[in-house]
Amino acid sequence: MSIRPIYLDCHATTAVDERVLAAMLPYFTENFGNPSSIGHVYGWEAEAAVKQTREILAGAINATPEEIVFTSGATEANNLAIKGVAEAYFKKGQHIITVVTEHNAVLDPCNYLKTLGFEITILPVKKDGLIDLSELKKAFRPETILVSVMAANNEIGVLQPLAEIGEMCRDRQVLFHTDAAQAIGKIPLDVQAMKIDLMSLTAHKVYGPKGIGALYVRRRNPRVQLAPQQHGGGHERGMRSGTLYTPQIVGFGKAVEMALAEQATENQRLTQLRQSLWEQLSQIEGIHLNGHAQERLAGNLNISVEGVDGAALLLGLQPVMAISSSSACSSTSTAPSHVLTALGNPQQLAYASVRFGIGRFNTQEEIDIVAKHAIATIQSLRKTSFMDSRQGKRQSDLAPAD
């Protein structure tokens, strides 16, 4: 039987924790009622479970349970936030501000709105991946209705200054949305202190199930209006119709509850593993760290490697480790990562990049194995590249003159 590679792609998805699965199972077979069926015990059980998860998610971000709207994931939450605000505030203005390093689940809805006549300002980032707050300040217009900036980047792990952005938006009476899919359970989030009006969440980045997410929608100071993007039944305060998927919702709540309880110790452990991996890899020349060295997720390490072909690098690493070079949602694209090119990396260096997503189930022993294999692979590819270039030079020397 073949040995499976070490999983280091936790920004793409995570395994469902066994404790999360145990919490979910009764809601498939025993407590299987529809939470909207309020006329009997089966519905009451499901409704109570859904309510409990609302309370957990609300507590995680300092919101109220009524402000949590369940969706199928962060992509739907982002679409509901951006398109919902655009439609609801159309008469107030048609200008939205976002950032070049956002996930496509934010950039694509914004590009769609451009076809409807909206103006979209896409801010650049600095070399370290952080936005320039002075550039944001200059981008505001009287007709600006929404700013969307992700909390933690899915490729380079960079943490944006949410509180400062929120303050700037509130001063101008502009709504602030953040995609916190990678951040929930990993960093402190407070929608009141950070003045966040809409926040997208998902379960599967934090050891919960796929197919379930949520959107926080502020109810007061200010009360956010959203035009629903899915109709039929008026569920979720009319914002998102559809029967709630109780087992997934229960798993979401359990996953976030566990992540919050273990956040401080887990971040310390992940930081140590990340630093160990970086210290080992950086012993060889031509290894570049992508993103801010400190303002990043504890389990994220994104590097670019000089002197190697990107496809050959990934192919050489794959037998030992499961990793990716960019967002899993755009991994079929042949273009270099838009996030890495936004940092100013040359195209060739952006191609030769690796994202390590270290998670709950990784160990120091695995990190050492990964580092050793990565170093050997890089050195081998560089040697092969050098020999190929020498061979090409000899052949050109032997070629007859014109």
The enclosing domain of 232 has a CATH number of 3.40.640.10
Residue 335's pLDDT is 73
pLDDT of residue 391: 54
Domain ends where: 207, 237, 257?
A: 257
What range does the domain containing 164 cover? 18-257
Of the residues 10, 110, 169, 329, only one is catalytic, namely 329
Position 13: which residue type?
T
Give domain status of residue 67, yes or no. yes
Asked if residue 65 is part of any domain, the answer here is yes
233 with 283, same domain: the answer is no
Q: Identify the pLDDT of residue 402.
A: 44
> Residue 9: what pLDDT?
97
Same domain flag for 70 and 166: yes
Q: Is 137 helix (H, G, I), strand (E, B) or coil?
A: helix
Q: What pLDDT is recorded for position 284?
A: 94
Please tell me the predicted confidence (pLDDT) of residue 246: 96
DSSP string, 29-85: HTS---TT-TTSHHHHHHHHHHHHHHHHHHHHHT--GGGEEEESSHHHHHHHHHHHH
For each successive 10 residues of the chain (402 residues), what is the average pLDDT? 88 98 97 89 93 98 98 97 97 98 98 97 97 98 98 97 98 98 98 98 98 98 94 79 92 98 98 98 96 97 94 94 72 74 90 96 98 97 70 50 45
Residue 38 domain-assigned (yes or no) = yes
Amino acid identity, position 163: A
Residue-level pLDDT at 230: 85
Total structural domains within the chain: 2
Domain membership flag for residue 402: no
Q: What is the pLDDT of residue 334?
A: 61
**Catalytic residue list contains 329:** yes
Looking at residue 369, which CATH number applies to its domain? 3.90.1150.10
pLDDT, position 392: 52
- Cα–Cα distance for residue pair 241/36, rounded to 1 Å: 11
Residue 110 and residue 24 share a domain: yes
Q: Residue 272: what residue type?
A: Q
| Domain contains 152 | yes
Q: Is residue 116 part of a domain?
A: yes
Q: Enter the tokens of residue 168.
A: 């700037």
One domain, residues 251 and 278: no
Cα-based distances in Å from 277 to 147, 174, 270, 271, 362: 35, 41, 11, 10, 12
Same domain, 211 and 344: no
Instruction: Tell me the two tokens of residue 223.
Output: 């009360």
- What pLDDT score was predicted for residue 239? 80
10 Å CB burial of residue 267 (0-12, 13-18, 19+) is: middle
Phi, psi of 220, rounded to the nearest 5 degrees: -150, 150
pLDDT in tens, 226-275: 999 888 877 877 688 788 999 999 999 999 999 999 999 999 999 999 99
Domain match, 285 and 313 both: yes
Q: Report whether 209 contacts 203 (CB < 8 A).
A: yes
Same domain, 289 and 253: no
Are the beta carbons of 114 and 83 closer than 8 angstroms? no
State whether 240 and 331 are in the same domain: no
Residue with tokens 């273990």: 262
Do residue 272 and residue 252 come from a single domain?
Answer: no
Q: Which amino acid is at 267?
A: N
Q: Are residues 201 and 170 in the same domain?
A: yes
Among candidate residues 208, 229, 257, the one where a domain is terminated: 257
Same-domain status, 248 and 307: no
Q: Give domain status of residue 1, yes or no.
A: no
Residue 269 lies in a domain: yes
Residues 226 and 323 in one domain: no
Query: What is the DSSP secondary structure assignment for residue 9, as one 8-state letter?
Result: B
Question: Residue 13: CB partners within 8 Å, gap ≥ 6?
Answer: 204, 205, 210, 328
Instruction: Return all residues near 29 (Cβ < 8 A) that are at least 6 apart.
Output: none
Rounded distance, CA 113 to CA 169, Å? 21
**Which CA distances in Å does 382 have to 103, 312, 391?**
32, 11, 14
Residue where a domain terminates, one of 195, 222, 257: 257
β-pair partners for 125 = 131
